[in-house]
Chains A and B, each alone.
Chain A
Amino acid sequence: DMKVTQMPRYLIKRMGENVLLECGQDMSHETMYWYRQDPGLGLQLIYISYDVDSNSEGDIPKGYRVSRKKREHFSLILDSAKTNQTSVYFCASRRTRVSYEQYFGPGTRLTVL
């Protein structure tokens, strides 16, 4: 059963604090993604990772950075979080060259006060 996990599921931080969101997948998928979802805006791509240490900016990378040191793990880091980064963050993965289907994790609801 294909699975993408995200930790934590819920997080409350104060403005200026650092935030680490973790994503894992057990499918050996090469490509992984970070999205944020805000009401009325759909899913916006933050970063895409094609494999270990091979990352590219998405549509809204400002204020975020990522790390992928192992194929199965992809981290999203917010250095000095801002209130406008309050959102639901989704990680997804895809088996490159086999399918275009993206498998999404359950999401992390981040609140920055």
Chain B
Amino acid sequence: SQTIHQWPATLVQPVGSPLSLECTVEGTSNPNLYWYRQAAGRGLQLLFYSIGIDQISSEVPQNLSASRPQDRQFILSSKKLLLSDSGFYLCAWSRETNTEAFFGQGTRLTVV
């Protein structure tokens, strides 16, 4: 069966520090991968999606970047965090475009 791992679950980082959130998928190959951000009490904002290794599409201009160094690994990064980067970050995968997505448990990031 397929599983998705996202870590850490919570993270408190000072302004200006770097960020690296990792997401890995097991039990499938060539998944579509997604990073979403959810502000408190709000919907999900798509940040990045990837249909293959080194194929990353960015949805919104921001202080973040994403990389996919391996087929089932998706990394969300920042060189210098801003207060506005605080939020709940969710990684997800799907077998094909526009099909059911499977979500990780999320990372609660607080930038202080």
Q: Do A and B bind each other?
A: no
